[in-house]
Structure 1
Amino acid sequence: MSKESFPLSKVYGLLEPGPVVLVTTAREGRANIMTMSWHMMMEFEPPMLACVISNGNFSFDSLKATKQCVINIPTVELSKKVVDCGNSSGRTVDKFKEFGLTPVAASSVEAPLIDECYANLECRVVDDKMVAKYNLFILEVVKAWIDPRKEHPQTIHHLGEGAFMVAGETIHLPSKMK
């Protein structure tokens, strides 16, 4: 066999499920942005996803209390701001002001959309049974927005230790799934 052992602490970089996103929450009139890459789709209709938010993050208490957030999907052009948001705390920084991002009122939740992101998913927590043990929230997308001017958005995907992959070429293969 030509393979070698791989450190278990780096496995997450092999399996990151999707693009890095910016989660917005709002509580008591204060909005926050959190960078997140630990999420996964769970269902098509209604669209449901799961995400892990550490109980040490400022956004954790807000999401737990309000049971609503927006998953904002940035493109590679926002990558520096995405990393900057992830390297600062909403406890001490207004990330919208600090990083020049524009909050836009959502239609179904109190948390704001980020205007610069190419897609925004307004979400409500529908299951919090695994929050205490795993910090895992189950969300239902109740409204989705997309910027139609961005035809081929390139998202970023976290590989760990400051490394990111940029989504690239799209290929189409025949599918019998409908």
Structure 2
Amino acid sequence: MTHWREVPPSHARQFLEPGPVVLLATHDAGASADNVMAMGWHQVLEFTPALISCLVSRGNHSHALLRRSGECTINVPTADLLDMVVRIGNCSGADCDKFTDLGIEREPAAHVAAPLLPQCHAQLECRLHDDAMVGQYDLFILEVLRIRAATSPKAPQFVHYLGDGQFMLSGKRVSRKRLFKPEMLGI
């Protein structure tokens, strides 16, 4: 017999976490400064154009920077960068220069002013596509302009945030390519 426990609705992310923790980098042209934040609330919305959504709370320094600039990079760290991810999430770019203080590497992007984080497995250059839900929900719809991904490892471990300082690392990968019908995706 299965035993159940009640879980507060605020813990939904423990069961529905859509993807890996990412590092969202922005650039403040007025201050000639870069910022980076850890983010777990994002999802793929469309294939063509490549659209993703991300929730950046207005309490985060990155919210105003993303709103003003209309662009960012989304960098996907691997499990070996977990401590850096936590340190990035534990401080505000309004109070410090995370790149200098935490020793984070950066490189220029090709299509946006926000920097790429070369220590991450993948970097997505993004431009704001739709800001209709930013005012009410802090939800940004971004178009992916370019993706750069490392060639190895082929199957890296990514970090998933479960809330309350708990993380999960992506696990064993399995293939069902022989059963998969890509035409069902409509692309």
Give the TM-score category using the shorter length: over 0.9
Supply the distance in 1 between the matched residues of 2:106 and 2:45 (Cα, whole angstroms): 27
2:15 paired with 1:14: yes
1:176 to 156, 161, 181: 181
Letter in 2 for 1:53: V
Residue 74 of structure 2 corresponds to residue 67 of structure 1: no
Moved more, 17-26 or 93-102: 93-102
Kindly provide the CA deviation profile for residues 15-37 of structure 1, in whole angstroms up to 9, marking residues without a partner as x.
Answer: 11000000000012100000000
Deviation at 1:5, TM superposition (A): 2.0
RMSD of the TM alignment (CA)? 1.1
Greater than 6 Å deviation, 4+ residue runs: none
Q: 1:165 aligned to 2:168? A: yes
Q: In the TM superposition, what is the alpha-carbon distance from 1:46 to its structure 2 partner?
A: 2.1
CA distance in 1, matches of 2:163, 2:59: 19
Aligned to 1:2: 3
How far apart are 1:50 and its partner, in Å? 0.3
SS in 1 for 2:126: strand
147-156 or 85-94: which moved more? 147-156
Indicate the percent of aligned positions where both proteins have the same amino acid: 41
Q: Which amino acid in the other structure matches residue 123 of structure 1? A: C
> Which residue of structure 2 aligns with residue 103 of structure 1?
106
- Post-superposition offset of 1:3: 2.4
Q: Which residue of 2 aligns with 1:24?
A: 25
Residues in 2 aligned to 1:91 and 1:48: alpha-carbon distance in whole angstroms: 28
* Among 135, 138, 141, the residue aligned to 1:138: 141
Tell me which amino acid in the other structure corresponds to 2:17.
E
Report deviation, 1:93.
1.4
Q: Count matched residues.
A: 178
Query: Structure 2: how far apart are the matches of 1:176 and 1:138?
Result: 28
Q: Could you tell me which amino acid in structure 2 is paired with residue 2 of structure 1?
A: H
Stretch deviating more after TM superposition (80-89 or 8-17): 8-17
Please list every run of 5 or more consecutive structure 1 residues that lacks an aligned counterpart in the other structure: none
Task: Give the whole-Å Cα distance in 1 for the aligned partners of 2:170 and 2:111.
Answer: 30
Q: Is 1:81 matched up with 2:79?
A: no
What is the CA–CA distance in structure 2 between the aligned matches of 1:107 and 1:151, rounded to whole Å?
24
Within 5 A, what are the aligned runs for 1:113-152?
113-152=116-155
Deviation at 1:13, TM superposition (A): 1.6
Question: What letter matches 2:100 in structure 1?
Answer: K
